[in-house]
Structure 1
Amino acid sequence: MTASARVMVPVEITASMLKAGTTIPETDVAMGEVAWVSGGTYEAANQRTYGDSVWGCKLAHTGRTEKPDVDSVYWYRVRPTNRMAPFDDYTNTKALATGSITYVFQPGFLNGLAVYGMEGATYSATVKDSPGGAVVRSWSGDLYSQASGFYELLFSPLVPTVQMSFDDIPLAPDAEVTITVSSDPGKRVAIGTIKVGDWRQFIGDGTGGGAEYGAESDRKSYTFRKYNLDGTYEIVKRTSSRNVNCSVVIDADQAMYADAILGEIMEVAVPFEASGLPRYGYLNTLGFVSGSIRADSAGTTSINLKIEGNI
């Protein structure tokens, strides 16, 4: 493999970074969300939105003014709101809409962008050097992989593209990013996860830096069987994750830099790409990265990476 392995050190996206042009409201009534109101009457299991989250009512109550995020006796966090769903670490908590969905946000510095869990027919992504400023990078296309041959074009369904990454973004300390996923009017569209930040490459001296052959990915399913007392069961459908294992050979002088990267991302779910080449897309994932570093010789070092993919 010739392209360097890399990870993204992400920027945390907060609600204040979302700007005009984002099509999902703070409380998305169209998706069944209802805003929490101070002093209201709530039954157990009611769900209300407050801040960036959906909260579930633990105990029925009336007239309380404490906000759900500090009232743990009566409220618990269920999930992010539909608007903020793409900015947690889970791809299966998706922002949902019909027809089209757009996010406009201002994350500050970035040189990379990755989007996971997309559902729709087309996508577009634009980076401006400042809010309302000049476009420095843009991409667009279909959310279906291209047919490998004439037979596949005529007789095989096209495989949906659910994840994409973008780079080569010029330095812009106040960048504005716009992402849109569209389909036919009335059809479901979704975005699972949006990550922006700084791509960090495990770069060698020209003879290393890419993941070695033998790298592998493993699909882990979280679907399980729920058994009843009489021996019958029901299958509880869950999504799957992609785990990746690979080794990267780098110049020995780069070992401390590689160690610093691993230390920076140990507790954060990050985009990982073993190779930027399209045919190795199955070695790319979003998850938690850990690794060991081994001195192979005076000139080379091996990094053995394990990425536990998120659902």
Structure 2
Amino acid sequence: MNILLPKTITTAMFGAGTNIPAVDTVIVPNEVEWASGGSFADGTRRTWKGYWYEAVQAMTTGPTNAIEPGTAAAEGYWLKDEGAPTNRMAPFDKYLFTKARRAGSIVYELTPGFVNGAAIYEIEGDNLEITVKDGATDLITPIDIELWEQAPGLWEYLFGELERGTYYALKDIPINPNAKITITISRNNPAIEAAVGFISVGNWKTLLAPLTQASGVQYGVEATTRDYSYSQEYKDGTYIDVEGRKATDINLSCVIDAAEAPSAKLLLEQILGKAVAIEVSELPKYSHLATVGKVTGSVRSVNWPTAQVDLQIKGNV
């Protein structure tokens, strides 16, 4: 059972190899960064520090046109669009549906400090490459994989329509303050758009069964799909189906060594209220038991040698 304790990604962590600019003027709509002293009509949209903001009243002269979006003074002037991060920052918010997009390939070069892993979700691409370096020295064997999911059977492999893989978990990065992680998602056709919805780097925390190095998760893990679609009905009896976003919730129990109970409780406190990557097992047949969401749970001392951790993960859209 693996939970990624995430690090907050800051502007200073992006390297020159990142190919999505801080202000992306290529995508539609073009990003336009807020600048103090401009003339902003009601409804004007500007980007600032990773998000889109919308003017909720006209600001054409000082001092109102110098009010910085996102500050306490901006209340009543600028409204943050929580579902609209900038193209560069889209994979680093709490949602999976907000995606960074770029024709041909997406490259993120990050120097996050001390981390031992990463998780990448909602990938749209044909190939994934990951390198972790200290200068010119590889800290891990470079990863270069085609993004195809494992076929459930021979018939599907030979005749079915194989799906592309949408997530990847990277573990065992050596602890190094200078580790530079480069993630490249590419298309075979450079004219087709590549995309990624969620990138988290941080430190994997593992809950293990007593006396073994195996997952402590008990059988009976439940993964529940959630569909936020809805129907809009009209007076004449007709209706339209409005497609909504999708999520996966997971409920599980994990048996751990009693001595690890305080650490498990501390981990729950550290991730409370955060969107974190969860991987129940590294085995391919349990690959469906992985999600990103908010975790709540309890730690119960069952007997002298063991404790039980019950987790409820509400998947993010």
Q: Same fold (TM over 0.5)?
A: yes
Tell me which residue corresponds to 1:45. 43
> How far apart, CA to CA, are the structure 1 residues paired with 2:153 and 2:276?
34
Tell me which residue corresponds to 1:75. 78
Q: What is the deviation of 1:194?
A: 0.5
Candidates 180, 197, 201, aligned match of 2:184:
180
Give TM-score, length-normalised by structure 2.
0.91
Candidates 204, 212, 220, aligned match of 2:209:
204
CA contact (8 A) 1:82 1:96 kept: yes
Tell me which residue corresponds to 1:193. 198
Q: Deviations over 1:254-281 (max 9, x none)?
A: 1112111111111211111111112101
The answer for unaligned runs of 5 or more in structure 1 is: none
Are 1:288 and 2:294 matched, yes or no? yes
Candidates 80, 89, 92, aligned match of 2:94:
89
Q: What is the deviation of 1:302?
A: 1.3
Tell me which residue corresponds to 1:214. 220
RMSD of aligned C-alpha atoms?
1.7
> How far apart, CA to CA, are the structure 2 residues paired with 1:57 and 1:265?
33
Tell me which residue corresponds to 1:60. 58
Q: Secondary structure at the match of 1:253?
A: helix
> How far apart, CA to CA, are the structure 2 residues paired with 1:209 and 1:145?
23
The answer for unaligned runs of 5 or more in structure 2 is: none
Are 1:24 and 2:24 matched, yes or no? no
Are 1:154 and 2:155 matched, yes or no? no
CA contact (8 A) 2:6 2:201 kept: yes
Q: What is the deviation of 1:228?
A: 4.3
Q: Deviations over 1:82-129 (max 9, x none)?
A: 111111110111101111110011100110110011101111111113
Q: What is the deviation of 1:34?
A: 1.9
CA contact (8 A) 1:15 1:52 kept: no
Pairwise mapping of residues 121-136 of structure 1 onto structure 2 (< 5 A)?
Answer: 121-129=126-134, 132-136=135-139
Q: Deviations over 1:274-301 (max 9, x none)?
A: 1111210111111111112223222111
Give TM-score, length-normalised by structure 1.
0.92
Q: What is the deviation of 1:47?
A: 1.6
Question: Aligned residues: percent identity?
Answer: 39
